[in-house]
Amino acid sequence: MISISDVAREASCSPSLVSKVLRNRMGKSSARPETIARIHETAKRLGYTPNPTARALVQGKRGAIAILIPEFYGQPSSGLDSKLLITIAKDLNIRNERLMLQFYWTIDDLKDALKASNPASVDGIIAVLTPSSGNPPLSEILSTVKIPIVTINTQPVADTIPNVGLDQISVGYCATKHLLDCGCKAPLFIACTDNETKMRFTGFKTALQEAGLPFSPSHYWDIQLYRQEILIRNIVESINGKFDWDSIVTPSDSIAFTAIQTLQTNGFRIPDDIQIVGIDNSPICNYAIPHISSVSGCDDERAMIAIRELHNLMNGEKAENHIIEPKVMVRQSTRPLSSTDPLRKRGY
C-alpha cells in the first residue's frame, strides 16, 4: 500500500507537506503551485489512496460499525444469521469500514453489547432483534443509545429509531396464496406460540377469504414453539383418521422438512399427494427431496437497507422506516394440480 512517505520521497517533498496538500488542510502553510501540482500528480501516478482508519480519525470517526445479533437468530439451519452478516460485512468492506460483532441472548447480554458499542469504539449500531428480545421493553433500552442506531425487526421498537421490518402478514398470505394458485383447496396451517405466527395466520385467512374458501378450525395446528414431535404425532393421527387437507403452510423450512419426511414415510408423495411450503428460504430447502418451496424474508435486502439508513443518520441526514415484502421461491414441493391427481378425485 502506497503511503504518504512514498509520495513525499517520489515528489521530493516533506511528508508533512504532502499530507497537508492531499488532505486539503494547508492552514497557514504555503507551497508553490507547481509543487502542489507535482504532489497530486505523483500521488495519482503511484496509486495513493488515503488510509481509511486515519481518515476516519481525522474526521472524528472510528471507521467501525457494531452489529448486535442474537446467538440464535431464526430457526436452526435457517441460515438467516449468516445471510445478514455476510451481506453487512461485504458492504462495510466496500466502504472501508470495520465490523464489530456482538452476540447476545438475554436482555442483560444486550445491555452489555450496547455498552461495548460506545462512541469511543464505533460510529453506529445495527441491532438485529427477535420477538423474544423483550422485557423490559426494548424501546427503553435502545432509546438510551447515544450514537446512531438502526434496528432490523418485524416492527419498530421506538418512534425515534429507524427500523427495517418484514410484513409477517404478507408472509402467511404469500405462502397460502401460492398453494391456492397451485390448485390446493384445503391448506393446513402449522402454528407456533409466537407473535410472528399469529400475524402469518392473519395472512393465511385473508388468502382463503379472497379465494372464497372456508376456514376449518381443524386446519390449524399449534405445535408449541416448533416442537417437531408434536407435528409428527399430529400428521400420523390425522392421516390415520379424518384426513381432509391437501397442503401445508409451515412456520419454517425445518418444519417443512420434517413434514415431508413424515408424509413420505407414511406413503404420501410430495407434491403429488400433498403440497408443502416453508418459510425462511434456508439452505435446507435445497437438501430436501423434493426441494422445498419457501417464502423468503429477503434478509440480504433488509441488511443493505439498514446499512444505508444507518449511514444517513451518521451523516446527519434523515433515516426512514421500511417494511419489506416477502417473496415466494418456488421449488419442487409445490406444483399445479391436474384433474388426474388423487386428491382431486377425493374432492379436495
Query: Where are any strands of DSSP class E within the chain?
Result: 64-70, 98-104, 124-128, 149-152, 163-166, 187-191, 220-222, 247-249, 275-279, 293-296, 322-324, 327-329
Omega prior to 214 cis, within 30 of 0: no
Confidence of residue 340 (pLDDT cuts 50, 70, 90): very low
What burial class does residue 275 get, using C-beta atoms within 10 Å of its C-beta: 0-12 exposed, 13-18 middle, 19+ buried? buried
For 252, the grid coordinates are 419454517
Coil, strand, or helix at residue 299?
helix
For 226, the grid coordinates are 416448533
Q: Which residues contact 105 (CB under 8 A, 6 or more apart)?
A: 70, 71, 72
**Average pLDDT, integer, range 188-194:** 89
Residue 50: is its pLDDT beyond 90? no
Packing angle between helix 195-210 and helix 168-181, nearest 10 degrees?
40
- pLDDT tens string 303-325: 999 999 999 999 889 999 999 99
Residue 345: is its pLDDT beyond 50? no
- pLDDT tens string 254-277: 999 999 999 999 999 999 999 999
Q: Which residue has the cell 516533506?
A: 14
pLDDT of residue 337: 59
The pTM of this model reads: 0.77
Confidence of residue 56 (pLDDT cuts 50, 70, 90): low
- Which DSSP symbol is given to 291? P
Omega prior to 148 cis, within 30 of 0: no
Mean pLDDT for the chain?
Answer: 86
- pLDDT tens string 69-82: 988 777 766 777 88
Residue 133: is its pLDDT beyond 50? no
Answer whether 152's CB lies under 8 Å from 84's CB.
yes
Q: Are strands 275-279 and 293-296 parallel, antiparallel or unpaired?
A: parallel
Answer whether 82's CB lies under 8 Å from 280's CB.
no
pLDDT of residue 81: 80
- The more confidently predicted of residues 19 and 326 is 326
